[in-house]
Amino acid sequence: MTLVEIFQQLLPGMGRSIGIFFCTLVLSLPLGLLVAFGRMSKFRVVQLIFKAYISIMRGTPLMLQLMVVYFGPYFIFGIRITDSYRLYAVLIAFAINYAAYFAEIYRGGIESMPLGQYEAAQLLGYTKMQTFFRIILPQVIKRILPSVTNEVITLVKDTSLSFAIAYLEMFTMAKALAAAQRSVLPYIAAAIFYYIFNLLVAVIMEKLEKKLAYYR
């Protein structure tokens, strides 16, 4: 089997990997902002809860979290696991994991902003919400973009962890094909896919960073 034929076989899995990537970003980026707000809360109890959540998500392997989300409903509540739940388990595990990382990135960016900007906005009659979304957040995005880019690139590669619960994304299919064909070519095809995908992500994020350069 040629490399081109292998790519054709892996196309459905590539589509699923791309789907996991985009769905995780759509879920984890806003969730991460909410978690960051909780982490910065003035209420000590709320702050500790979110701090513990971030610590657990960052301190345990994503694969372990994925398996807990997938097998947990059966072992804890006795709920029967269906094949369709695999995708939901992947998205839930990835979203809550990456939300923790994005939360700390957001928090670092928000806390780095000078207090004078908040005071100036208050004098101009801005509400707290207007101040944050119109003045603070655009500058925070510019500051945190390199860190976010690193996480996004890591996410591309982490989609391969879905094989742990036998979800048929690209790496799972490549692994099965390599075993069936007794060939390393499916793994080479997988490596090419991840590299090109990451290259595209890096180029897009670099262009976005240049567009936001007016905040310097």
Q: What is the DSSP string of 123-148?
A: HTT--HHHIIIIIIHHHHHHHHHHHH
- Count of structural domains within the chain: 1
Q: Assign 214 a pLDDT band (cuts: 50, 70, 90).
A: low
Question: pLDDT tens for residues 32-78?
Answer: 999 999 999 999 999 999 999 999 999 999 999 999 999 999 998 88
Please determine, for residue 135, whether its predicted confidence score (pLDDT) is greater than 90. Answer: no
For residue 163, the domain's CATH number is 1.10.3720.10
Percent of all residues in the chain with a pLDDT value above 70, rounded to a whole number = 99
Q: Assign 216 a pLDDT band (cuts: 50, 70, 90).
A: low
Tokens in use for 136?
Answer: 């603070």
Please give the average per-residue pLDDT across 154-172, as a whole number. 92
Cα–Cα distance for residue pair 168/50, rounded to 1 Å: 33
Q: Assign 169 a pLDDT band (cuts: 50, 70, 90).
A: very high
Tokens in use for 209?
Answer: 């960073």
Q: Assign 186 a pLDDT band (cuts: 50, 70, 90).
A: very high
Q: Spell 26-38 as b/e; 16+ CB within 10 A means b.
A: ebbbebbbebbbb
**Closest by alpha carbon to 87, among 105, 61, 69?**
69
Cα–Cα distance for residue pair 9/169, rounded to 1 Å: 12
pLDDT of residue 35: 96
Please determine, for residue 98, whether its predicted confidence score (pLDDT) is greater than 80. Answer: yes
Please determine, for residue 138, whether its predicted confidence score (pLDDT) is greater than 90. Answer: no
* Residue at 211: amino acid letter: K
Global pTM exceeds 0.85: yes
Domain hosting 119: range is 3-215
Helix ranges restricted to H, the chain: 3-39, 44-59, 62-77, 85-111, 115-123, 128-130, 137-158, 170-181, 185-211
Q: Assign 119 a pLDDT band (cuts: 50, 70, 90).
A: confident
Q: Assign 92 a pLDDT band (cuts: 50, 70, 90).
A: very high
Percent of all residues in the chain with a pLDDT value above 90, rounded to a whole number = 67
Instruction: Using alpha carbons, list the distances in angstroms from residue 100 to 73, 154, 159, 178, 212.
Output: 22, 14, 17, 35, 25
Average per-residue pLDDT in the chain?
A: 91
